[in-house]
Amino acid sequence: MSNSRVVPFFDYPRLFLDHQVEFIDVVKDVASRGAFIMQKDLREFELALASYTGAKHAIGVANATDGLELALMAIGIQPGDEVICCSHTMLATAAAIVTAGGKPVPVELGWDNLIDGDAVEAAITRHTVGIMPTQLNGRTCDMDRIMAIADKHGLFVVEDAAQALGSKFKGKAAGTFGKAAAISFYPAKVLGCFGDGGGVITSDGYMYDRVFQLHDHGRDIDGEVRCWGRNSRLDNLQAAILSYGLKSYDKVVDRRRAIARKYQELLGGIEELMLPPSPDANADHFDVYQNYELQAVRRDELRVFLRNNGIGTLIQWGGKAVHQFERLGFTCRLPKVERFFERCIMLPMNVFLSDDDVVYICDKVHKFYRG
């Protein structure tokens, strides 16, 4: 079977092409000033990012994985310290804990496919020092529960908010609940740059100072070396590109939420599918739909059928949860997560989709299940 219509999972060239005149102007401006590393464009973006999230501080870093590592290093976790995370997350979440010197403890997901509070509490031992919830697919966890557990047991919280810029829980932005958080600006993110990029946000003055030092060879904001550090700086050119994108970010989020409503309207009646919560399902949550991840009966067959009809899909992280990478030393079983990864699939979700594209995708899904 073949089809002439193509709806890619993410149309990477359009990230540049749809605004190429404006982006060329940004590049010319930055390059003509020779402003490549830690110039005013970066500082302006950091201020804008902090303002947008409601955090007191933001630091541009090389990528979100570095951001998580730097936050944990700033806290000072020690060998043997355990940090609880959900197994339904990118391996980088757990890797950051290992790189910073700790031990990741992956746990089950809850009804909304995010970290389960009961599982977090059950996993706490005398070695547990922190919780790292992942605000996944553009949705923020029930942070009331997570913060209550952390307060009860004296644990820190660092958020993996890589996929959640603009997402909120009870009106509070993802990334602003714990001591610090990391955000990703990978090209396919809701706010993406032209390569790797990330940010750390925090309202804790000590965390800001320490992460700033660690991300720039141990130097503080005055250039004095205070500690050993490394190079994890967000390139100034990428910061300027991100500043341009942040100006229209709310419109991008609105469009993604509109697409999610359309998916809910057109696919909500298919009993073989378990869709993510719709934009209007719960007033406590404001989701930005970084991804549209659902569960599907006969997932692999559906994926082939959609591919044969020109529709790109994705099974996140190669179809493996964190604890399923056994060569990394994990031995636990997490049945809910494992069941999820047997059924999960992502449909296209980005501003390059037209309404006709969404209708086409949904028509093909209906045809697969109903003939």
Computed over every residue of the chain, the mean pLDDT equals 97
Q: What is the DSSP letter of 362?
A: H
With respect to residue 3, please indicate whether it lies within any of the assigned structural domains: no
pLDDT digits (tens, 9 = 90+) for 146-193: 999 999 999 999 999 999 999 999 999 999 999 999 999 999 999 999
Average pLDDT over residues 326-348: 96
The verdict on 181 and 200 lying in the same domain is yes
Q: Which domain holds residue 271?
A: 250-370
Average pLDDT over residues 2-10: 86
pLDDT digits (tens, 9 = 90+) for 27-86: 999 999 999 999 999 999 999 999 999 999 999 999 999 999 999 999 999 999 999 999
Strands 285-286 vs 344-347: parallel, antiparallel or unpaired: unpaired
Q: Look at residue 3 in the predicted model and tell me its pLDDT.
A: 63
pLDDT digits (tens, 9 = 90+) for 260-289: 999 999 999 999 999 999 999 999 999 999
The verdict on 162 and 304 lying in the same domain is no
The CA-based angle 176-180-181, given to 5 degrees, is 80
Candidates 302, 308, 309, 280; CA nearest to 346 is: 302
Q: Look at residue 371 in the predicted model and tell me its pLDDT.
A: 81
Task: Please say if the pLDDT value at position 223 is more than 90.
Answer: yes
- How many domains, the chain? 2
The verdict on 87 and 219 lying in the same domain is yes
Supply the CATH number for residue 317's domain. Answer: 3.90.1150.10
Structure tokens at 175: 């990334």
Residue 366: is it exposed, middle or buried by C-beta count within 10 angstroms (0-12/13-18/19+)? middle
The verdict on 223 and 269 lying in the same domain is no
Q: Residue 323 — pLDDT band, cuts 50, 70, 90?
A: very high
The verdict on 100 and 221 lying in the same domain is yes
Structure tokens at 185: 């600006």
Q: Which of 203, 231, 246 is the last residue of a domain?
A: 246
**Residue % of the chain over a pLDDT of 90:** 98
Average pLDDT over residues 19-31: 97
pLDDT digits (tens, 9 = 90+) for 193-211: 999 999 999 999 999 999 9
Candidates 282, 285, 283, 280; CA nearest to 260 is: 280
The verdict on 238 and 174 lying in the same domain is yes
Task: Please say if the pLDDT value at position 102 is more than 60.
Answer: yes
- In this structure, how many other beta carbons lie within 10 angstroms of the beta carbon of residue 103? 17
Strands 82-86 vs 128-132: parallel, antiparallel or unpaired: parallel
Candidates 291, 294, 255; CA nearest to 271 is: 294
Task: Please say if the pLDDT value at position 1 is more than 70.
Answer: no
The verdict on 295 and 223 lying in the same domain is no
Q: What does each C-alpha distance from 145 to 40, 132, 280, 371 come to in angstroms? A: 39, 13, 21, 44
Average pLDDT over residues 5-17: 97
Task: Please say if the pLDDT value at position 351 is more than 50.
Answer: yes
Residue 322 CA from chain centroid, whole number: 15
Q: Enter the pTM of the model.
A: 0.96
Supply the CATH number for residue 239's domain. Answer: 3.40.640.10
